[in-house]
Amino acid sequence: MMIYPAIDLINGQCVRLYKGQFESKTVYNSDPRDVAKSYYDAGAQWLHLVDLDGAKNPQHRQSQIIGDIVRGAGLKIQTGGGIRNRDDAVQLFDLGVARIIIGSLAVNNPELTASLFHEFGAEKICLALDVVPDDNGLFRVAVSGWQETSAQELTAVIDHYSHHGVQHLLCTDIARDGTMAGCNIALYQTLKRKFPMLNIMASGGVHTLDNLRELKQAGIDGAVIGKALYEGAFTLQEALSC
């Protein structure tokens, strides 16, 4: 299982949100470049980098910082936040990122998203479907930096992109994100059974090494870890070792 330490960026700073709420922001470090380098020094191979300013408004994308991290950290970078068109994707690839994360666009413009899979290749794109449960227990996909919940149901969206070769799926249970309340193991197990061909990354709620062991035992391919590292619940070295 691959460990993806996470950096969320707002105004050039490392932050974490609580359940995706921008008004519930905690700033952990003022220089994400140093944090990224520390993750490399600890043995990480990948960095999960989310531009929350870009997610709210693509015109506010933090390209300079993203480029600095790509060039200076020594890590492979998967990044997203505010990718609304082909030019946005090309800009990030030109910065040197290894993989882009497409979320809202996959719901709002499936035709364009499918064309990106075919143009750049499935290895270069991570489908990010961040979800909230509805009153019937179905998971609906959130969009626009988690500010809106669409009518699209999680597995239906995955089914659609299965026909376009999707390989990497990141799924965040927004109700768990930033809470350190544990992962939604049942959700990820269901996804792995239904879509065994996908490389599934879990995100939201990781706060113990046992959480990581449970994900690995469930056959999940990756785990994104943010707040637990900032809060010192465990070290990145411990996460990589377990």
Kindly state the DSSP code that residue 50 receives in the 8-state scheme: E
The domains of the chain, with CATH numbers, are 2-241 (3.20.20.70)
pLDDT of 52 above 70: yes
* CB-CB neighbours of 221 under 10 Å: 17
Q: Which residues contact 143 (CB under 8 A, 6 or more apart)?
A: 103, 104, 107, 108, 149, 150
Q: Are 153 and 139 in contact (CB under 8 A)?
A: yes
Catalytic residue at 88? no
**What confidence tier does 43 reach under pLDDT thresholds 50, 70, 90?**
very high
Q: Which residues contact 107 (CB under 8 A, 6 or more apart)?
A: 141, 143, 150, 152, 157
Q: State the catalytic residue, choosing from 8, 88, 173, 177.
A: 8
Write out the E strands in the chain: 2-10, 13-18, 21-29, 46-51, 76-80, 99-102, 125-133, 139-143, 148-153, 168-173, 199-203, 222-225
Q: Are 129 and 157 in contact (CB under 8 A)?
A: yes
Pick the range with the lowest mean pLDDT from 6-15, 214-223, 232-241.
Answer: 6-15
**What confidence tier does 1 reach under pLDDT thresholds 50, 70, 90?**
very high
CA diameter of the chain: 46
Q: Specify which of 19-23, 29-33, 34-38, 176-180 reaches the highest per-range mean pLDDT.
A: 34-38
Q: State the catalytic residue, choosing from 51, 53, 88, 130.
A: 130
pTM: 0.90
Catalytic residue at 130? yes
